[in-house]
Amino acid sequence: MKKYLRILSALCLVCLLIPTLCGCAMVDELRESRATYDGDGNILWNGTVYKKLPINEDFCPETNHSEVYVADEDVPVLLLSTYGDQMLTADKEKLFLEHNSYMDERYELAPVYYCREDRYDEFFKKIRYGFPIETVCYHYGYYDEEKMEYIEKEYHLTDEQRSTIEKIMTTVKPTQSGEGWYLDYEWMVSLYDCTEDMLFQRYAMDVCVSGKTYYLRVDDERHTYFYQVPEEYETVFGQIMDAYMAANELENWQATM
Amino acid sequence: MVRKLYKHEFMAWLRVLPFFWVAMLGVAAAARFVQVFESVQSVYYWIVFGSSLLTFFFAVLVLAAVPTVFGIFRFYRNLFTGEGYLSFTLPVTPAQHLLVKATTAICFQIFSLLVVLLSFCVLTFGDMLTELLKAGFYLLKQIPQDKILHIIGYCAEYGVLILAGCLCGHLMYYSCICIGQLLRKNRILGAVGVYFGYQVISQMISTGISLFFTLLGVAGVLDKLIVVMDKYPNATLHVSLSSGCVISLVTAAVMWFVCYIIIRKRLNLE
């Protein structure tokens, strides 16, 4: 009886082990990263259709470098990177796929985005007819020693700060750079007009700091103009630059350590 | 008698080699078993997994070396130590002795290679092995129809090259031992010295040949040949593989001749 029990338990153990010995995380990941073209130029990935968006330089969703390969059904998963088109997933919600192999008219590699079908119309309209400026921000970053990674953040200007900038642009007479006048500034941040979700961003102007004076720098097609910020608005601009200066000071302090 | 000699030689090898084969398969099975815990994505898992892979590759290296080492050991002990007095009383010619030793060693080297392949299958057992086979068949299907004959030819040439290389290698070690045993003392040390002598000579020859061809290239003599090689890349590869086979076989023949002459005419047993 004992002998049969041993054989039975050994068989049970083998039966339990075989399924666990069959799986492979790497193969499973590759299987998840497989996508196919549906014949109309769209991509089918995990049962969701992704449609190709028109190329637009203001449209810049953040890529999180998780790879997806678009290939024929018969291509084995281990050869996906060889025979498939590599895409990167952009946005955490798996909303976009980014493909970098489109050659634009300047012969530069321009990213092509494929958007989830259910949100396509919304993004297509914003690309074709322009996006609403919902916020103005600048990007800054610092190295977090505890997390041991570079943290990138955005500072969003308040309504008051935005209206101050608008006021300066309408009331102050700009100085054109290059005609016997150059600004030697110490710090500069670039402001971007954005949508709330930060998917659309367009360069607007720069804020420059020279000594204790702030300037707004605006470029048109041929010239660069500087608007000197009046003394009464220096506090507002000081607040705008605070986050950037704090990050900068932290980096300088880290560099001296 | 040669058949009996083969039988005893195979039995002697089978007393030792299966231990290494089982160990190799055991290491592969252990490394595969470690992967059961791959869902535990912790540093400890990666340390254990990395160590198991490292052990596997170390075991492959050991298994690649064992047939050569054991072949040298069998050759020296059977023919040049006290056992030699018994071996050479058998009704077997020196050529047959050499043939039996060399072919058995090559056979077990091939068996060991098959065990390495089997252990790789054990290591990747499951989804990974299935996908590897799928990828292999897919790549085979991608070969254009007009290249299939060339590919078969390359495989055959590589096979012959590997066999000729094994034969040449074993006979080189045998000839080192044969030349070393001509000394009165320090015979093993002498054999090692002969081995290094061979290496120096082969390096000098290969350097001389590459220098010669470099000079020919500088003088522009090889320009037409390069054009022809560019035009017929398949034929170039066939010729280079075949010439590799011929060089290995010629070297093996020279080594064979050295061993044969020494065993037949200058045998110097302890």
A60's enclosing H/E stretch is none
- Each of the 270 residues of chain B gets a pLDDT tens digit; together they read 889 999 999 999 999 999 999 999 999 999 988 888 888 778 888 999 999 999 999 999 999 999 999 999 999 998 888 888 888 888 889 899 999 999 999 999 999 999 999 999 989 888 888 899 999 999 999 988 888 899 999 999 999 999 999 999 999 999 999 999 888 888 889 999 999 999 999 999 999 999 999 999 898 888 888 899 999 988 999 999 999 999 999 999 999 999 999 988 877 666
What is d(CA B157, CA A50) in angstroms, rounded to the nearest whole number?
Answer: 49
**Chain A residue nearest residue B129, CA to CA:** A22
Query: Tell me, what's the pLDDT at A20?
Result: 64
Give the largest CA-CA distance in chain A.
104
Return the number of CB contacts < 8 Å for A and B: 41
In angstroms, the separation between the Cα of residue A91 and the nearest Cα of chain B is 24
The candidate with the shortest Cα–Cα distance to A157, out of A173, A187, A141, A133, is A133
Q: Is the pLDDT of residue A3 over 80?
A: no
A13-70: pLDDT as tens digits: 766 666 666 778 888 888 988 999 888 888 999 888 999 888 888 888 887 778 889 9
Q: Which residues of B touch A77 (CB under 8 A)?
A: 131
Tokens (6 digits) for B180: 């070393």
Across chain A, mean pLDDT equals 84
CB atoms within 10 A of CB B269: 13
Nearest to A79 among B33, B126, B138 (CB): B138
How sure is the predictor about A92, in pLDDT bands with cuts at 50, 70 and 90?
low
Q: Are A21 and B132 a contacting pair at CB < 8 A?
A: no
Cβ contacts of B222 within 8 Å, gap of 6 or more: B213, B216
What is d(CA B268, CA A169) in angstroms, rounded to the nearest whole number?
Answer: 105
Cβ atoms B164, B242 nearer than 8 A:
no
Is the pTM higher than 0.80? Answer: no
User: Could you give the C-alpha distances from A66 to A132, A170, A208, A252, in angstroms and in order?
Assistant: 30, 45, 37, 33
What is d(CA B210, CA A205) in angstroms, rounded to the nearest whole number?
Answer: 64
What is d(CA B253, CA B248) in angstroms, rounded to the nearest whole number?
Answer: 9
Please tell me what DSSP assigns to residue B239: H
Return phi, psi of residue B51, to 5°. Answer: -65, -40
Q: Are B138 and A17 a contacting pair at CB < 8 A?
A: no
Nearest to B127 among A27, A74, A79 (CB): A27
Return phi, psi of residue B38, to 5°. Answer: -65, -20
Nearest to B131 among A25, A74, A77 (CB): A77
Q: Which residues of B touch A81 (CB under 8 A)?
A: none
First to last CA, chain A: 73
In angstroms, the separation between the Cα of residue A6 and the nearest Cα of chain B is 22
In angstroms, the separation between the Cα of residue A86 and the nearest Cα of chain B is 18
What pairs with residue A152 in β-bridges?
A141
C-alpha dihedral sign at A212, A213, A218, A222: negative
**Chain A residue nearest residue B134, CA to CA:** A76
- Which stretches of A177-221 are assigned E, i.e. beta strand? 187-194, 201-210, 213-219
Q: Are A24 and B35 a contacting pair at CB < 8 A?
A: yes
Query: Tell me, what's the pLDDT at A19?
Result: 64
**Chain A residue nearest residue B41, CA to CA:** A25
Return phi, psi of residue B131, to 5°. Answer: -70, -35
Query: Tell me, what's the pLDDT at A234?
Result: 87
Query: Tell me, what's the pLDDT at A105?
Result: 58
In angstroms, the separation between the Cα of residue A188 and the nearest Cα of chain B is 42
Q: Which residues of A touch B135 (CB under 8 A)?
A: 76, 78-79
How sure is the predictor about A104, in pLDDT bands with cuts at 50, 70 and 90?
low
Query: Tell me, what's the pLDDT at B156?
Result: 94
Q: Is the pLDDT of residue A102 over 70?
A: no
Q: Three-class SS of residue A191?
A: strand
Cβ atoms B101, B174 nearer than 8 A:
yes
In angstroms, the separation between the Cα of residue B230 and the nearest Cα of chain A is 26
Residue owning tokens 């083969």:
B6
The candidate with the shortest Cα–Cα distance to A126, out of A195, A79, A44, A70, is A195
Between strands A34-37 and A63-70, the pairing is parallel
Count of helices and strands (H, E) across chain A? 6, 14
Q: Are A27 and B36 a contacting pair at CB < 8 A?
A: no
Q: Are B127 and A78 a contacting pair at CB < 8 A?
A: no
**Chain A residue nearest residue B126, CA to CA:** A22
What is d(CA A76, CA A82) in angstroms, rounded to the nearest whole number?
Answer: 10
Nearest to B38 among A22, A25, A76 (CB): A25
A186-230: pLDDT as tens digits: 888 999 999 988 889 999 999 988 888 899 999 887 888 889 899
What pairs with residue A153 in β-bridges?
A140
Q: Are B131 and A25 a contacting pair at CB < 8 A?
A: no
DSSP B79-128: HHSTHHHHHTTSS--HHHHHHHHHHHHHHHHHHHHHHHHHHHHHHTTTHH
Query: Tell me, what's the pLDDT at B266?
Result: 75
Calculate the dihedral angle through the C-alpha atoms of A125, A130, A136, A139, rounding to the nearest 10 degrees.
Answer: 80
What pairs with residue A44 in β-bridges?
A36, A49
What is d(CA A115, CA A189) in angstroms, rounded to the nearest whole number?
Answer: 31
The candidate with the shortest Cα–Cα distance to A79, out of B199, B132, B214, B17, is B132
What is d(CA B110, CA B126) in angstroms, rounded to the nearest whole number?
Answer: 26
Chain B residues within 8 Å of chain A (Cβ atoms): 32-33, 35-36, 38-39, 125-128, 131-132, 134-135, 138-139
